[in-house]
A and B are shown apart, each in its own frame.
Chain A
């Protein structure tokens, strides 16, 4: 069963605008959440993470929001750039362990 879900397989955004990628999870034991970015033929690259004790974490153009009551997190990219075009994976783990549960990814296309 898929415990981490990314319900939008793809998203297209204009350069300079905000990209919002969403992720839902079902396991309330998850306490650490990460976003990875993946280009074809490469491994996922870590982007940003958030612990369940926080509701927001920022790193430059990237912000992750966590809503524990809704079991939902989102990644905001502002402003979006063409180089951000990639597949974005949401991942979660329990007890801050190392078995990451991944969503199936959202393909982001940022158009000039």
Chain B
């Protein structure tokens, strides 16, 4: 089975711009979660989508949003970029057929905001 894929892998934007990141989960996985990794804060949960609905949300401002399509692919959008948004954004997918399932991560999108 192919793993979780994320595009693009690297991105450079300037302050005030917006960005959209894409994630394709493992085939058959219905849950997609997004995380932000920074040196200071570590890995932090952004949000989780299941069946095109946001099911869980972390403590991030409204500039961070996402959506999931009927084929389980997900996109994440960050508007009005700030320097502090520079981070590795990771997507993870899970089958969501039972409790306590493992999440499988993609390679991430490295975003640099100048």
Contacts and interface: CB of A to CB of B under 8 A. Distances in A.
Interface of A: 2, 31-32, 34, 36, 41-46, 49, 51, 89, 91, 93, 95-105
Contacts of A32: 99-100
B108 A99 contact: no
Given A31-B100, A99-B33, 6 more contacts: A42-B107, A43-B4, A89-B43, A96-B99, A98-B33, A100-B43
B102 A34 contact: yes
Interface of B: 4, 31, 33, 35, 42-45, 48, 55-56, 58, 90, 92, 94, 96, 99-108, 110
A100 B33 contact: yes
Contact of A96 (B4, B100, B107, B108): B100
Contacts of B104: 46
Contacts of A105: 42
B106 A43 contact: yes
Nearest to A36: B105
A41 B48 contact: no
A42 B88 CA distance: 10
B90 A44 contact: yes
